Amino acid sequence: MPCRAAPVGSERARTTQPHTLEWFLEIERDRYGTYAPWMRSVMEFSAHADEDVLEIGGGLGIDLAQFAANGARVTDVDLSAEHLALADEHFRLRGLHGRFVHHDAAALPFPDASFDLVYSTGAIHHAPNTQRIVDEINRVLRPGARAIVMVYAERSWNYWKEVMFTRGMCEGMLSHHSMAHILSHSVENGGTDAWPLVKVYTRRQLKRMFGRFDDVRMTQRQLRRDELPAFARPLQPWLERVIGWNLIVKAQKRR
């Protein structure tokens, strides 16, 4: 799985010094307070005590720390050694315990049926072979265990308005570039010269990708009021569930 130049969220810390506990906590407050207040409930951080939880592409370990603080035994696997070092540092500053593994998620280095939950948010849609990662998630889950995976939604305000209309049409990028190029240069480059692969998905595509799982359910989120025109802002709670940027898949491995 390709790594990003900087973990997502690190750019949102503005008042604290990097590599301090206060820095990680500022990023956490912004993540769940301003950027995505829906995450604490939707992502089930407090529902997996005494379980073995694997996160794929944990970045700074902000989400993984929530599982650990609520009593889960946690593992982070990432292709970026730099991200893993930051997540490890984060855990040590908070007095939390975790396992940090440098490896490609397309070939997870764990035995079959090792985990009660595999969690990933904003990571596998950067991989060349996302289906292979989903198959690996299925393999390492115990029978009846669950996956919670977030990817970007094609049928979303961000894709059609910000990427397709603003960048593609108004700025003229569609005249010279593919949508894959526009996505790569519009999403999560972190202000660097790194242009990650970025893919978007429909619910139908995800249903097919998770076809080996049972009870596949999807939730759509991530649309802030300030992203909408003024007349639409009162409808934000409803619109977020219809045209939000994040599609969250919750699926159970067959018993």
Within-domain flag for 190 = no
The pLDDT tens digits of the residues spanning 36-69 come to: 999 999 999 999 999 999 999 999 999 999 999 9
161 domain residue, yes or no: no
Q: Is residue 166 part of a domain?
A: no
Q: What is the CATH number of the domain that holds 204?
A: 3.40.50.150
Which of 4-8, 116-120, 187-191 holds the top average pLDDT?
A: 116-120
* Beta strands per DSSP E along 81-139: 98-102, 115-121
- Reply yes or no on whether the pLDDT at 230 is more than 70: yes
- For the segment 2-33, what is each residue's pLDDT rounded down to a tens digit? 444 566 677 888 899 999 999 999 999 999 99
Over residues 78-115, the pLDDT tens digits come to 999 999 999 999 999 999 999 999 999 999 999 999 99
Q: How many independent structural domains does the chain possess?
A: 1
CA dihedral 162, 237, 204, 63 (to 10 degrees): 80
CA atoms of 254 and 234, how far apart (whole Å): 41
Residue 99: inside a domain? yes
The model's pTM:
0.91
Tokens 């490896």 correspond to what residue?
Answer: 103
- Exposure string (b/e) for 71-106, b if CB count within 10 Å is 16 or more? ebbbbbbbbbeebbebbebbbebbebebebeeebbb
Report the percent of the chain where pLDDT is more than 70. Answer: 93
Question: Per the domain annotation, does 170 fall within a domain?
Answer: no
Residue from 150, 61, 67, 80 nearest 116 by CA: 67
121-160 pLDDT per residue, tens: 999 999 999 999 999 999 999 999 999 999 999 999 999 8
Range(s) of the domain holding residue 66? 10-156+196-253
Q: What is the mean pLDDT of residues 201-224?
A: 97
Q: Cite the beta strand spans of the chain per DSSP E.
A: 52-56, 73-78, 98-102, 115-121, 141-153, 200-201, 213-221, 246-253
* Residues 67, 73 contacting (CB under 8 angstroms): no
Does 120 map to a domain? yes
> Is 191 a member of any domain?
no
Cβ atoms 114, 52 nearer than 8 A: yes
Residue 179 predicted with pLDDT over 50: yes
Does residue 245 fall inside a structural domain? yes
